[in-house]
Amino acid sequence: MTTTRPAATVPPGAPSTGTPGRHRGPQGTSWQQRRYRWDVKGTPYLYIAPFFILFAVFGLFPLGYTAWVSLHDWSLLSDEQTFVGLANYRELLTDAYFWNALRNTISILILGTVPQLFFALIIAHLLTMRLRGQTFFRLGMLLPNVASVVAVAVIFSQLFGRDFGLINWVLESIGVGRIDWQAGTASSHIAIAVMIAWKWTGYNALIYLAAMQAVPRDLYESATLDGASWWRQLTSITIPMIRPTIIFTVIISTIYGLQIFAEPQLFAGGGQDTITGGSSRQFQTLTLYLYEHGFNRGFQFGYASATAWVMFGIIVVVAAANYLLVRRIRSSA
Amino acid sequence: MPATWTRRLVAAGLAAGLLAAAAGCGSGDDAADGDITLTVGLFGDFGFGPLYEEYERDNPGIQIEERIAEFADHHTNLTQRLATGSGAADIEAVEVGFISQFTAVPNRFHNLLDHGAGDLEGRWLDWKWQQALSQDGAELIGLGTDVGGMAMCYRTDLFEEAGLPTDRDEVSALWIDSWGDYVETGKDYLAATDDDSYFFESAGNMFRAMIEQAPVGVYDTDNTLLVEDNPVVSDAWETTVEAIEAGMSNRLTAWTPEWTAAFGQGTFATIICPAWMTAYIEGNAPDAAGLWDVAAVPGGAGNMGGAHLTLPAQGDHPEEAYAFIEWLTEPEQQLRVFQETGNFPSTPELYDDPALTEFSKEYFNDAPIGEIFTDAAQQVQPQYQGPLQGDVLATIGQGLGRIEDGSQSPAEAWAQVLSDVESLA
Amino acid sequence: MSTVATIRRYRPPRLAYLTLLAVLFFSGFPLYFSLVVASQDNSALGRMPPPLLPGANLVDNVRRVFETVPFGAALVNSLIVSATITASVVLFSTLAGFAFAKLKFRASNTLLLLVVATMMVPAQLGIVPLYLMMIRFGWTDSLQAVIVPALVNAFGVFFMTQYLREALPTELLEAGRIDGAASHRLFWHVVLPVARPAAAVLGMLTFLTAWNDYFWPLVVLSSPDNYTVQVALSNLRSGYVTDFSLVLTGTLLATVPLLVVFGLLGRHIIGGIMQGAVKG
């Protein structure tokens, strides 16, 4: 149906619609041909130009500029920027708080991602069944994804409140006792991980669901004939078959997880703790660490830039590891 | 396909409609041409609301708009806005712990001496005036609002339950001599009450009170940090740690939801009360009227908190803004703010005015808070405030927080405080 | 589809339903809870057990949010920011996606690889220089500081390239060429109609992301009149914490416009996510 559309919508009398070299005289032909050639050769560049120009100015240039700034003692509060070489990196890598932030980030990342993807798999598996209200369930799964991280952090900080939070009230009612979620390292990581998992589980479930629908059905048929259980089918058919999708979600979640900022920032009740991620820095993430140095006390842009590059390096390492994993799976398949 | 596009259109229209409706509610105060809007950036509610209205009424063409941010955010944001030259309000409040950080860059502010503030010097307590002067005394960046002479607020009902005296003079007598006595009283209190009742809300506050009472605090007058070397600091630390280890602290961080709610629930019995704190007590626990009373603070007089109003140089209406803050800090207005909220005037002229000295509040069991805070303010010996005063105190407060939540021993916490403070500078 | 269902017929569907309903409950509850607190007065904050049913104060709280902070302005700012970014991302991504998917030009593969590679770059990496640039341009504390850097993004180009590669029949373009249509005509009359469903999905995802963006606006915007909703919300939370019902009312107000859009267009968003997944 769509095939007829372009012909119908191109106005017949428009000057440029003439096919080059067919209806026009020799003079016109060469002009038309030049124009045609230019069109074919130049247009692609014209089409990608707006993207690449903006991208270069606001995407690529800042990347290089960050590297330049990171080599300086550069503060918003002073007009002088001294070249210091790798001093910022040296200072960063010897700062125990940086390593603390890295540990926290990875811990929150794992706590937030592993259960999240696991539940997403289970949910997706359930959604492949012939259920009443498919759309309703899918919509419900995605609902948390609509809420902003700020909204999520505000709501969950309330739920995780030490003295008057709903979760502690439930825990106390069932005899477990209250937990000071913000105070402990593990407990604060869990609370933040819950915020991440809550927002993204449904989203990932839908991605898995899409991948599962492409799995050949006869695999399940023969498995059922062999008497394989529901769980077995999940682990020995579904998961291997959608492995690339799983790795895709792992990479995406990892990149997202390494940049966690709003959740820990807003989870700390107030004052200094919102920047240090609790009084013991127990939930200060890398981005929060960057924020502390770059946009808080001192406004040390050089140091913050060095932090950004190191963060990037970490992401590249993780992504490369994932890429190698994908390749291995492909070659073994 | 057409159906879904229609629905999309409807959706977009609906969203836009919602937004437009919302916007309509928000922008009810469209200023007429030629009107000047003065923005006022504060941390917390200064109780200026009724004064804005009056000033707008008496000065047609002036509109006043208030912005409130969290205490720490407010000062960080101000630093950032001064550095980038955009985004600051016409009038920005600066708390005493941060004022010397800004008097160090006086060119970022309008010099109030150029606007005739020099004639008003006698209006304020001398030290309050000095705090807003640049180092060479050539520039004045702010006019003082309130001062925070300290008292101790306590819950009479909880004291009674614990078998402690409830009369404010008797309560004062319990600890007037020293903070050690205050800690002892706390131990008696804990022994007589159940597990989820605490003697005070946060250890950081107690520590800060002790520091503010000392003639020299965390800074020497040549801006040397004295955290490690000033015995006052380590003594205050040890006394506070003793209180924490006895289980007195409710472990609340000021200005968090938990902190706010705890007032309403009455989970702690005492709180260090600079005058401005009374406003928070009243606001956070409206149902506790008559249960709070005000006694003397241990350890003598000291100032905790209080603010100046400054005019960032990027503001476009220095004349109007100056006229406004000049009016706002007049004794008459300061008195009204005090009566309304509890923020105590920094203008000595009022200190023998019966309207101030005889003021009492039903909420605080009719305690003579006018008299109490006047005495407190008059006894204050000025203490030099260093450039990172606020950050240093916050860092020490975090250290105490780590002891409170059990994540560090006092020795570990102290070691970390020292290295953290070091890296601030 | 039917075969999958046939096999699953033996499973206990009741348990599946129960599990999914439990998931739905946990998905919806936090949002419901914010409605509950938003409709109470502030004393609910310290009540034990916490309130579980809505109160009667919602309208009053909404009014107070608008009185307390310029929330109306924030909603308008967010609408301007998100709508501009969405329109721009969709247009430029479709243009570039068309070029990458169907037009031949030198270095196209290298350039596309560059685009994909930069999707790995965390937003934070550019924050400091972006901020310095904004100071240089005199754009700090203005909406264009939020809008301009977001006018294009690598994900959009990648998404449209993938979609158009599959969905746009090459013969259709060739037919257009033979008829003498210039590229821009092909774009408007052939590519755009085909790209429409993907453009709608990309648009919705972009709008959602722009509306919910927090870190960069927080850094670059400083006066409340220029705040976007998320920054206004965090400001409301930190400055007015003594009134938490007010804060959660703000949270609710920031989310409601998206919930409305989601309610009406959710099925398309789901389709888009699932489609993107297969391609990815």
Evaluate the omega torsion of the peptide bond into residue C70 and state whether it is cis, within 30 degrees of 0: no
Average pLDDT over residues B43-57: 92
Q: In this structure, are residues A88 and A224 in contact, taking their beta carbons and an 8 Å threshold? A: no
* Within-domain flag for C52: yes
A226 touches chain C (CB under 8 A): no
Is there a single domain that holds both residue C52 and residue C85? no
What pLDDT is attached to residue B5? Answer: 46
The whole-angstrom distance between C130's CA and the closest CA on chain A is: 6
| pLDDT score recorded for residue A332 | 53
Say whether residue A183 is in contact with chain B using an 8 A CB cutoff.
Answer: yes
Mean pLDDT value across residues B21-36: 50
Taking the C-alpha atoms of residue A198 and residue C241, their distance in angstroms, rounded to an integer, is 24
Interchain pair A184, B405: CB under 8 A: yes
In a domain, C62, yes or no: no
Range of the domain at C142: 71-279
Helices B257-265 and B277-284, axial angle in degrees (round to 10): 70
Counting the structural domains of chain C, the total is 2
Q: Which residue has the tokens 């990479």?
A: A251
**Mean pLDDT (chain B, rounded):** 89
Whether the pLDDT of residue B25 is over 80: the answer is no
- pLDDT given for residue B33 in this prediction: 54
B405/A299 touch (CB, cutoff 8 Å), yes or no: no
- Select from A124, A140, A320 the least CA-distant residue to A206: A124
Same domain, C101 and C42: no
Helix (H, G, I), strand (E, B) or coil at B38: strand
Residue type, B335: L
Query: How crowded is residue B358: how many other Cβ atoms within 10 Å of its Cβ?
Result: 11
Q: Is residue C4 part of a domain?
A: no
Q: Give the model's pLDDT for residue A250.
A: 86
Q: Which DSSP string do the residues of B337-394 spell out, in sequence order?
A: HHHHT-PEE--GGGGG-HHHHT--BTTTTTB-HHHHHHHHHHHPPP----TTHHHHHH
Domain CATH for C227: 1.10.3720.10
What's the confidence (pLDDT) of residue A326?
62
Q: What angle do CA B313, B314, B319 make, to 5 degrees?
A: 65
Q: Do B27 and C73 touch (CB under 8 A)?
A: yes
- Residue A92 binned pLDDT confidence (cut-offs 50, 70, 90): very high
The predicted-structure confidence for B295-333, as pLDDT tens digits, reads as follows: 999 998 889 999 999 999 999 999 999 999 999 999 999
Cα separation, C252 vs C63, in Å, equals: 13
The model's confidence at residue A27, banded by pLDDT at 50, 70 and 90, is low
Residues of chain C with pLDDT below 50 are 1-10, 278-280
Residues of B in contact with C264 (CB under 8 A): 7-8, 10-11, 14
Three-class secondary structure of residue C216 per DSSP = helix
How far, in whole angstroms, is CA B216 from its chain's centroid?
20
pLDDT per position as a tens digit, B204-219: 999 999 999 999 999 9
Name the least confident of A131-140, B112-121, B219-228: A131-140
Which pLDDT does position A98 carry in this prediction? 96
Rounded CA-CA distance B303/B214 in Å is: 10
Q: Please tell me whether residues C153 and C48 are part of one structural domain.
A: no
Copy the structure tokens of residue A16.
């440029």
Best interface-test mutation with A: which of B244, B392, B405 has the largest number of A CBs within 10 A?
Answer: B405
pLDDT at B70: 83
Largest CA distance in chain A: 93
Q: pLDDT (tens digit, 9 = 90+) per residue, B349-383?
A: 999 999 999 999 999 999 999 999 999 999 988 88
Domain identity same for C209 and C167: yes
Q: Quick check: is C124 in a domain?
A: yes
Same structural domain, C174 and C231 = yes
Whether B285 and B264 have beta carbons less than 8 Å apart is answered as yes
Q: How far apart are CA C269 and CA A139, in angstroms?
A: 9
Residues C91 and C33 in one domain: no
User: Is C139 a member of any domain?
Assistant: yes
Last residue in a domain, options C5, C22, C56: C56
Residue A164's pLDDT is: 85
Cβ within 8 Å, pair C241-B260:
yes
The CA-CA-CA angle for residues A305, C220, C78, to 5°, reads 135
CB contact under 8 A, A275 and B72: yes
Let me know whether C19 and C78 are in one domain: no
Length in residues, chain B: 425
Same domain, C160 and C40: no
Q: Is residue C63 part of a domain?
A: no
Q: Are residues C195 and C251 in the same domain?
A: yes
Q: Is residue C216 within 8 Å of C127, Cβ to Cβ? A: yes
Are C88 and C220 part of one and the same domain? Answer: yes
Q: Is residue C237 part of a domain?
A: yes
Minimum Cα–Cα distance from A265: chain C residue = C234
Whether C164 and C112 have beta carbons less than 8 Å apart is answered as no
Partner-chain residue, chosen from B71, B258, B406, that has the shortest CB–CB distance to A271:
B71
Query: How far away is chain B from the Cα of A22, in angstroms, using its nearest Cα?
Result: 38
In terms of domains, do C96 and C143 share one?
yes
> Token digits for A319?
């992504």
Q: Could you read off the pLDDT of A268-303 as tens digits, one per residue?
A: 877 788 889 988 999 999 999 999 999 887 789 999
The pLDDT confidence band at residue B18, using thresholds 50, 70 and 90, is very low
CB atoms within 10 A of CB A333: 9
Question: Does a structural domain hold residue C134?
Answer: yes
Contact by Cβ (8 Å): B132, B140: yes
Q: Please tell me the least confidently modeled range out of B21-30, B140-149, B155-164, B280-289.
A: B21-30
C144 with C260, same domain?
yes
Element of type H or E holding C11: none
- Res. A19 pLDDT band, cuts 50 70 90: very low
- Nearest residue of B to residue C218, measured between CA atoms: B77
Outline where DSSP puts E strands in B173-222: 198-200
